[in-house]
Homo-oligomer: A and B are copies of this chain.
Amino acid sequence: MSNISKEDYLRVIYKGLEESRMVNPTLVAEHLNISNAAVTDMLKKLTKEKYVSYTPYKGIQLLEKGKMEAIKLVRRHRIWETFLFKVIGLPWYKIDQEAENLEHSSSDELIDRLEVILNYPEFDPHGHPIPRKDGRIPKQKKCISLDRLGIGKVSAIQKVNDHSEELLMFLYKSGLVINKKLKVTEKREFDNSIVVLVDNKELVLSEKISKNIFVEDMR
């Protein structure tokens, strides 16, 4: 009947790979707030049904079938996020959670209508690419995480990780939104925090925060 659970696994795996991290059962378990044993169980099913391939300690890969499913889900998720933000007016930091619920309960026809209403958006409000109906992914500018931007360098925010409401709320209040220009004015060796200049204001960002912000790589 309902595939909500399976879809959630695929989304987490897809987003993990998208961030080019190695995706292992532990990571999935943490993201879904379930036990490792549950992930082992589901990976067996997903493997048998040819959604993923998986080598213990080496990571999970999406097979063609799984990738297609995941892309369709991510498309639904990001179109909803964009719609909730632009048309409904929900705040930036609430749309991920809401979209996570809606993504499992919408027909393709509805999603396509939303896409038309939004005039075929390429990126969601966090800067993530929205897969097209045919599965193609809009090309993004080359990015690096903010912690790797050199001192004195200026760049613009391209995307931010959207999984923590607290982070997004902080970023929003600090004006660290998509396309915002910023300059790194200081790097502190001790804790890897950095100081950036945004809207003529200085902001101190911890390493954990700067690693969740991605700026254009100008080289």
Q: Which residues of A contact B (CB under 8 A)?
A: 2, 4, 84, 87-90, 94, 97-98, 101-102, 104-107, 109-110, 113-114, 117
Contact = CB atoms under 8 A, between A and B. Distances in A.
A88 B110 contact: yes
A110 B98 contact: yes
Nearest 6 interchain pairs by C-beta: A101-B105, A105-B105, A88-B113, A102-B105, A98-B110, A98-B107
A84 B104 CA distance: 17
Most B C-beta atoms less than 10 A away, residue of A84, A98, A110 = A110
Contacts of A104: 105
A106 B102 contact: yes
Contact of A106 (B4, B98, B114): B98
Given A88-B110, A89-B113, A102-B105, 15 more contacts: A2-B4, A84-B110, A88-B114, A88-B117, A90-B109, A90-B113, A94-B109, A98-B106, A98-B110, A101-B105, A101-B106, A102-B102, A102-B106, A104-B105, A105-B105
Contacts of A89: 113
Nearest to A107: B98
A85 to B, nearest CB: 12
A90 B94 CA distance: 26
A88 B107 CA distance: 13
Contacts of A4: 2
A59 to B, nearest CB: 28
Contacts of A94: 109
A101 B2 CA distance: 11
